[in-house]
Amino acid sequence: MLENMTVLTADTFQSYTADRSCLVLVFRRQCPHCRVLMAVVDKCRPLCPDLPVTGVDADESPGILDSVGVTKVPTILVYRNGHVSGFKSGVMNPSELLALVASSKA
Amino acid sequence: MGRSERDLIIVGGGIGGMTAAIYAARAALDVVMLERAVCGGLANSSWNVENFPSYRSIAGLELMQKIRSHVESYQVAIEEMTEVTHVDVESRQKLIDTSSGQYAAKAVIFATGASPIRLPIESGCDERVHYCSLCDGPAYRGRDVVVVGGGNTGFDESLSLVSLGVRSAVIVECMTMCRAEQSIQKQAFSTGRITVRTDSRLSAIIPHAERLRVAVEHLRSGVMDEIAADGVFVFIGQKPNTSMLEGKVKLDKAGYVIGDARMHTNRPGLFAAGDVVAKRYRQLTTAMADGTIAALEAARYLRECV
C-alpha cells in the first residue's frame, strides 16, 4: 500500500471526486500487477504534484467499480475538476502513466 | 543523469536475480540490481507455491517479498521501475543504459526472465480476457470461465479462480495431455469444478448477450464446439525478455540465452540466470541455482580477469 494514499469508500468516493483533480488507483490487495502500478504511481508522484493519489479497494467497494465502468484491476482514473479525463487499465510504465496524465489535460 | 560504476550489475529482480544479489553481496561485491517493475518477477503472480523447500505452501507474492527483504538486508542497491534501454556488452567495461541513468561494470548477470504470451486471437472483448487470476478473478465469483493452457500455471490459476468463488473453469489444452504435475491436476479435479479439454484450441471469443461464446476446435477431428462462459484466462507459456540482447549474445531459436553449466554466455564477463536461460526446467529452485552459480562465477571472473 502506498504511503499517504487516501483509500476512498462507497461513502466517500462521490464527495471526494465531485470537484477535485486527483489520481484514483483501483486495486486489489492480493493483486501483483497492482503492486507494480503502485510503484509506478509512487515514482511519478513528484512529477504530478497537482494530483493527489487516492485508491479504491475493488474488494471492499465493488459498487464504485460498477459506477465508473472499471472491469479490470489495476486501473488508473485521472480526475480533472470532478470529471474523468483519463482512464487506463493494466500495468503501465512511468512514461505511459505520465503520458496518460498529460493527455488528460487536453 | 550520471554514470554509476559498480563491480557487478544484475539486470532483473526475479528470484534468479535476487539470489545472485545475495551471493554477490556476500562475496563483498559492489552490486546493483536493476528491475523494470518490482522485484519478484512472474512468481509474484503465483497464487500458491507448493514446491519451494521450507514452505509447504506459500503465496508467490509473500515468498518474493521475503526474498527481497533478505536482499535488502545486505544493503544491495535495488533500483525498481528502472527500464533498460540499451546494453553495450562487447568491451571489458559493460555499459547498461536505463531510464534512470547509465551503469557500468566489468561483470553483468542477465536475469530478465520471461513474459506471458498474449492470446494470439482478436477477441473484440479484451476487457474479459485476463492474464492474472488474483487481479481479475474476484469479478467472476459465481460465474464460469475458460482457462487456456494446461501447464502448471494454468492449473494453479484455475485452483485460484475456484478458491475465489468461480463456479466452473474449463481448461483448454492443445496437447493430447496436460503438462501440469500430477499432484496439481489431482487437486484440481477433486474440486469438481475444474474440467479439461485436451487436443483442443481456442479459436474465437464471441460476445453473446451478457456472456461469451468461446469457440473451441478439436484438433484431431476438426469439430468445432462452443463453451458458454463469462471470462477467459490465458496461461499459454512465456517468451524470454531478451530483445535487448539480440545480435549481442548467442541466443537459441526461441530467444533464450545460451549459457554453459557455469552460467557464462559467449561474452566474457556476461552471465545469465533464471528463466531467461535456454534449459528444460524453469522452476524457482532452478532459477536460484542459476543465480548462485552466476554470482559466484562473476566474483571469480572479477578476481581473475580484471
Mean pLDDT of chain A: 91
Report the chain B residue with the minimal C-alpha distance to residue A70.
B127
- In this predicted complex, what is the ipTM? 0.70
pLDDT digits (tens, 9 = 90+) for B114-130: 999 999 987 777 788 99
- What number of other Cβ atoms are within 10 A of residue B14's Cβ? 28
| Cβ <8 Å between B132 and A94 | no
| Cβ <8 Å between B36 and A33 | no
Q: Which residue has the higher pLDDT, A1 or B6?
A: B6
* Distance, CA of B273 to CA of B289 (rounded, Å): 8
Name the residue among B237, B230, B238, B239 with its Cα closest to residue B129: B230
**A39 closest CB neighbour out of B81, B128, B130:** B81
Mean pLDDT by 10 residues, chain B (306 residues): 92 98 98 94 85 91 94 95 93 94 97 94 82 88 97 95 97 96 96 97 91 95 96 95 96 97 97 96 95 98 86
- What number of other Cβ atoms are within 10 A of residue B77's Cβ? 16
A27-31, A85-89, B130-134: range with highest mean pLDDT = A85-89
Helix (H) or strand (E) holding B104: strand B101-105
- What number of other Cβ atoms are within 10 A of residue A57's Cβ? 19
Q: How confident is the model at residue B306, as a pLDDT?
A: 56
* Distance, CA of A100 to CA of A14 (rounded, Å): 22
- What number of other Cβ atoms are within 10 A of residue A18's Cβ? 10
| Cβ <8 Å between A39 and B135 | no
Long-range Cβ contact pairs of A99-104 (< 8 A, separation 24 or more): A100/A76, A101/A23, A101/A44, A101/A48, A101/A51, A104/A78, A104/A80
Contact list in B for residue A40 (CB cut-off 8 A) is: 81
* Distance, CA of B158 to CA of B62 (rounded, Å): 20
Q: A84 CA to chain B: closest CA distance, Å? A: 19
Picking from A35, A64, A96, A97 by the largest number of B CB atoms within 10 A of its own CB, the best residue to mutate is A35
Give the torsion sign (CA, B277, B283, B284, B288): negative
Q: How confident is the model at residue B50, as a pLDDT?
A: 86
